[in-house]
A and B are shown apart, each in its own frame.
Chain A
Amino acid sequence: GAGVSQSPSNKVTEKGKDVELRCDPISGHTALYWYRQSLGQGLEFLIYFQGNSAPDKSGLPSDRFSAERTGGSVSTLTIQRTQQEDSAVYLCASSFLREGRGGELFFGEGSRLTVL
């Protein structure tokens, strides 16, 4: 696609339910990132992928959070047993890593999660 696509755009769920957030990166981008942003706050790093592997999962807040990426493309962020503090906008970004150098991140519009 032309840009990074995230779905759903908005998700309202009840406390204790599981949710899946999906990210379709720009075709050919080797790196994929997940961030979380609470209202009026900065971006909190969650995880990033190079290809299908995740060199750094240090930002995942708890073992209720997991992410995978398949085929070097689509990624899914899963939150199990959601809590109210999980309410935030979840942002995905992708990047083309060129000659071992980092580059510009292209962001999706985010998935707004509200846990009641």
Chain B
Amino acid sequence: SQQGEEDPQALSIQEGENATMNCSYKTSINNLQWYRQNSGRGLVHLILIRSNEREKHSGRLRVTLDTSKKSSSLLITASRAADTASYFCATDAPGTYKYIFGTGTRLKVLA
């Protein structure tokens, strides 16, 4: 199965601290994306990194990709209470547009 796995499953930090989440996957990929989900409904896209890229930044977000280890990390710097959510990675394999999501990390940022 291509499904990714995030770790940790849950993370609790203080406001202002950095949060790091990791995603591992099993097969080669075209793209890896990170999404955020509040309250168990719709997901919001955060960032997309292609298989030939190693690092991307967007505001307080930094994503790295190591295709040799089949892993990615999402770093949220200077976290805020509003960052409290579940975070998922999603990957698609070459030759397909089928995105498989990981198991998610539940982040709680304490004010």
Contact of A109 among B30, B41, B48, B96 (CB under 8 A): B41
CB <8 Å contact, B98 and A45 = yes
A56 near B48 with CB under 8 A, answer: no
Which residues of chain B have C-beta atoms less than 8 A from A42's C-beta?
A: 3, 88, 101-104
Q: Which residues of A contact B92 (CB under 8 A)?
A: 102
Is A89 engaged at the interface, CB distance under 8 Å to the other chain?
yes
A104 touches B45 (CB 8 A): yes
User: Which residues of chain B are within 8 angstroms of A74 by Cβ–Cβ distance?
Assistant: none
Does A61 make an interface contact (CB < 8 A)? no
Residues of B at under 8 Å CB distance from A? 3, 30-31, 33, 35, 40-45, 48, 88, 90, 92, 96-104
A-B pairs with lowest CB-CB distance, top 3: A43-B101, A107-B42, A42-B103
